[in-house]
Amino acid sequence: MYLIRNVLVPVSKEIDLSKAISNKLKISSKYIGTIKTIRRSIDARKKNFLKYNFTLIAEIDFNINLNNEILEYIEPEPYIKSSIKLADPNPFIIGAGPAGLFAALSLVENGFQPYIFDRGETIDLRAEKVENFWQKGILDENSNVQFGEGGAGTFSDGKLTSRTRDFYTNKIVEYLIKFGADESIRYDALPHLGTDGLRSIIINLRKFLINEGCKFFWNSKLENITIENNSIADVTINNEKHSPEILILAIGNSARDTFTMLKDKIAMENKSFAVGFRIEHSQEFINSAFYGEKTDFSLTGPATYRLTAKHKDKGIYSFCMCPGGFIVAGSSEQNSLVLNGMSFKNRNNNFANSAIVATVNKADFGDDILAGMKFQQQIEKKCFNHSKPYFAPSQNADDFMKNSISSIQNQTSFLKGTYQEDLNEIFPQNITESLKSGLTKFNKRIPGFIDNGLLLAPETRTSSPVRLSRERDTFKSNGITNLFPIGEGSGYAGGIMSSAADGFKCSHLFLLGLN
């Protein structure tokens, strides 16, 4: 079997992959056997003449020369060996986001029946609370866009991008398909489930876990842990103490009260993340700017983009781009505002939005473990308008660049509503300067990106502001034998796929049996 990269084929309904390989390798198609698509992306370097770029596995009965684009295919193998024996069949998992749920799946594979605790509620109840917040501004601080079954990604675009594809990410993909995802997530370079698709999958996943003996405890908040002799002696959940053999900590990046509780108990450090705005355009503009008007969007889907730039010591980049999506409020604290992007599976809204963010680190917020978290909170409180609760401060991108405010503002998908504000006042000057530099560079690549854009503030929760230190090979918290921090909130992942894989890998370490 051979792995063949950069097989370019014009976008069309009918694709002959055998012919495409034949043309690339300059051999007859009679030598080409079974073909499997590993990856398919869109090459949009020539607008209106888009091509698919395939990475393929193929059986080839011909002596071909190997190079950077033609390699012998090696099937990914597991590299984590189950080595930690546990006597208790019911390990505790805190958090029912991707990391926690897939940690539970991995445990089930090894015969466990974990107990899963989440401060929020099931998808259905949580969705009601979120809709109530978006419509009426009534916020439940424990069941919202950030907390509850499925984690923060449930109210997003449901992206499944991952920097690596190994044995474990492939397992995540297989499970997602088993629970309802489309087969295309196996090979699409930018796979997504949409908030509606992800909600359905999470419900099916929960039912499977319950059928396997797992127990879920909703409205259940971790309040304290007691550490004795380098081990967790007990945990307090809803004022009740428990003594689990191990605790898998799969909290989200918004679990600020949990970070505060843990600060003086376990090894932690602050880490860099990114802050900025969400920028919104009409999807029609994005389609034309990136793919061209002659593109058959029924084949390609709405155009998407990924932009990066550099200004002094800061990286500026687009993040969580949602074609055909919505900007939504993602607050989890009263009198505080944070935004996110969300789309449904069909991505058929008239707007496209993305975060435009600049990296921040200790130089911006200080050395204290929770300094980054407090920096986020300050921005989010600054953007909250008490006379217009949970409305978003906004400004035409062109006005932002000019430090002015126009009488007419671009349209937006943000449901709650906006008010005009000079967004130059939101961040420290060096961050504002970096964001402006990034927008200028993006506008050179995509003329009209600034003139057609509307900025809404703030985007702050791009990743966790802390890292819970752990041993590389065992996933154990440094200095604590039975605590295992995983996922995005612990600082080891950056989205649905990486969080799920991190949880799955950690739990693969455990075997059920007497020590």
Nearest Cα neighbor of 464 from 269, 221, 243 is 269
116 neighbors 93 (Cβ within 8 angstroms): yes
pLDDT digit string (tens) for 44-75? 999 999 999 999 999 999 999 999 999 999 99
Handedness of CA 304, 339, 465, 271 (dihedral sign): positive
Phi (first) and psi of residue 75, to 5 degrees: -65, 130
255 neighbors 464 (Cβ within 8 angstroms): no
Residue 401 token pair: 């660049």
417: left (phi over 0), alpha (psi -120 to 50) or beta: left
190 neighbors 199 (Cβ within 8 angstroms): no
Q: CA-CA-CA-CA torsion for 305, 306, 310, 316, nearest 10 degrees? A: 90
Please report the pLDDT score of residue 514 as a whole number: 60
Please report the pLDDT score of residue 243 as a whole number: 97
| Three-state helix/strand/coil letters over 332-354 | CCCCCCCEEEECCCCCCCCEEEE
Instruction: Break the chain into its structural domains and give their ranges.
Output: 2-72, 84-269+466-512, 272-459
What distance in Å separates the CA atoms of residue 426 and residue 337, rounded to the nearest whole number?
12
Please report the pLDDT score of residue 515 as a whole number: 52
Longest CA–CA span in the chain (Å) reads 73
Residue 233 CB partners (closer than 8 Å, separation 6+): 226, 227, 243
What distance in Å separates the CA atoms of residue 140 and residue 126, rounded to the nearest whole number?
9
Residue 359 CB partners (closer than 8 Å, separation 6+): 272, 273, 274, 314, 315, 316
- CATH number for 84-269+466-512: choose from 3.40.50.720, 3.50.50.60, 1.10.10.60, 3.40.50.2300: 3.50.50.60
Residue 380 token pair: 């989010």
E strand or H helix at 394:
strand 392-396
| Alpha-carbon distances, residue 71 vs 40, 59, 167 (angstroms) | 18, 12, 19
Mean pLDDT over all residues of the chain? 96
Judge if the upstream peptide bond of residue 458 is cis by omega within 30 degrees of 0. yes
pTM, two decimals, is 0.95
pLDDT digit string (tens) for 481-513? 999 999 999 999 989 999 999 999 999 999 998
Residue 490 token pair: 């612990």
What distance in Å separates the CA atoms of residue 14 and residue 12, rounded to the nearest whole number?
6
Please report the pLDDT score of residue 171 as a whole number: 95
Fold of 2-72: Alpha-Beta Plaits (3.30.70)
Residues in the chain: 515
Q: Enumerate the H helices of 94-244 as residue ranges.
A: 98-109, 123-136, 167-178, 194-211
Residue 358 token pair: 């600049």
Phi (first) and psi of residue 302, to 5 degrees: -65, 150
pLDDT in tens, the chain (515 residues): 999 999 999 999 999 999 999 999 999 999 999 999 999 999 999 999 999 999 999 999 999 999 999 999 999 999 999 899 999 999 999 999 999 999 999 999 999 999 999 999 999 999 999 999 999 999 999 999 999 999 999 999 999 987 778 999 999 999 999 999 999 999 999 999 999 999 999 999 999 999 999 999 999 999 999 999 999 999 999 999 999 999 999 999 999 999 999 999 999 999 999 999 999 999 999 999 999 999 999 999 999 999 999 999 999 999 999 999 999 999 999 999 999 999 999 999 999 999 999 999 999 999 999 999 999 999 999 999 999 999 999 999 999 999 999 888 899 999 999 999 999 999 999 999 999 999 999 999 999 999 999 999 999 999 999 999 999 999 999 999 999 999 999 999 989 999 999 999 999 999 998 65
Please report the pLDDT score of residue 409 as a whole number: 87
Please report the pLDDT score of residue 161 as a whole number: 84
Beta strands in 238-313 (DSSP E): 240-242, 247-249, 268-270, 273-282, 308-311
Residue 239 token pair: 């004022």
pLDDT digit string (tens) for 225-244? 999 999 999 999 999 999 99
Q: CA-CA-CA-CA torsion for 383, 388, 390, 396, nearest 10 degrees? A: -60
DSSP summary character for residue 275: E
Residue 493 token pair: 């992942």
Phi (first) and psi of residue 220, to 5 degrees: -125, 110
